[in-house]
Amino acid sequence: MILSKTIRPIRTIWTCLAAASSLLLLAGCLGEPEIDERWTLLEFLSTDPVPGENLAVGQPLSVQVAGQITYRDIRTGFLVAEVRYSDTLGPAALNLDPDDHSLATAKQVERVLNNSVTAGRATRAVTGFDHLMQRVDLAFDVTVPADMFVGDPDSVANRGLYLLLYLAEGDEIELEDNRDSLVVTPFPVDQYELLFTGFALDLVDPNGGGAP
């Protein structure tokens, strides 16, 4: 009788351990959620211009962006839709796909931001918390640089124009003419676990050559 009472708790313990092991094995099989389900995701709902649309150089361009942020943590800053011009990164050097919500794409957007200058942008102060989905509509005007196709072919191939969507911190400053301006600094992708997005704008060479 004493032996029976001792065995029963031991069997119960082993049953619990076996169940726990099964759960761990099941979790391992299921795997970790995709990164776009763990990191704050930025995506285009719609854009004008759209990817693949031919644009003329030296002409004004009205940009409209419907963007969405899916928060995975508390984030406060500025959502920025921006056209960036680079004379060292041509589209052939990148593989930007606005439908690819991966760390690789976010890193490429970060690379463009670090190797380009602004051609025009719009910003909106935002804040959110885990699982919140926030839509933001932005619009601004830019002029496509007229020198995109000027110079030798190698230089032209290294130029690119990109429409990007990212999160940044912002500092308001007063200009000499007493106008207010906002200086934005993109948040680091890895540190803040952010998935930026963007794509290259397709330009028409007025000389009849290919796009940079």
Q: Is residue 58 part of a domain?
A: yes
Residue 201's CB: how many other CB atoms inside 10 A? 27
Mapped onto helix, strand or coil, the DSSP state of residue 184 is: strand
Taking residues 17-42, what's their average pLDDT? Answer: 69
Same domain, 6 and 105: no
User: What integer pLDDT is reported at residue 5 of this predicted model?
Assistant: 47
Taking residues 155-184, what's their average pLDDT? Answer: 89
Q: How does pLDDT run across 104-134, given as a tens digit for each residue?
A: 999 999 999 999 999 999 999 999 999 999 9
Q: Is residue 45 scored above 90 in pLDDT? A: yes
- Residue that the structure tokens 């102060």 belong to: 125
Q: Is residue 124 part of a domain?
A: yes
Same domain, 16 and 119: no
What CATH number is associated with residue 47?
Answer: 2.60.40
Q: Is residue 136 scored above 70 in pLDDT? A: yes
Q: Is residue 37 scored above 70 in pLDDT? A: yes
Q: Is residue 191 scored above 50 in pLDDT? A: yes
Same domain, 91 and 152: yes
How many angstroms separate the CA atoms of 140 and 14, rounded? 65
Q: Is residue 17 scored above 90 in pLDDT? A: no
Q: How many domains does the chain have?
A: 2
How many angstroms separate the CA atoms of 197 and 83, rounded? 12
Q: How confident is the model at residue 211 (pLDDT cuts 50, 70, 90)?
A: low
Mean per-residue pLDDT of the chain: 87
How many angstroms separate the CA atoms of 119 and 54, rounded? 18
How many angstroms separate the CA atoms of 5 and 109, rounded? 66
By mean pLDDT, which of 73-87, 135-149, 197-211 is the weakest?
197-211
Q: Is residue 9 part of a domain?
A: yes
Q: How confident is the model at residue 6 (pLDDT cuts 50, 70, 90)?
A: very low
Which range, 17-26, 99-108, 145-154, has the best average confidence (pLDDT)?
Answer: 99-108
Beta strands in the chain (DSSP E): 40-48, 54-56, 60-70, 75-86, 117-128, 133-143, 160-174, 180-186, 194-195, 197-200, 202-204
Q: Is residue 62 scored above 70 in pLDDT? A: yes
Q: Is residue 210 part of a domain?
A: no
Which range, 28-37, 107-116, 175-184, has the best average confidence (pLDDT)?
Answer: 107-116
Q: What percent of the chain has pLDDT over 70?
A: 83
Q: What is the domain range of residue 70?
A: 35-204
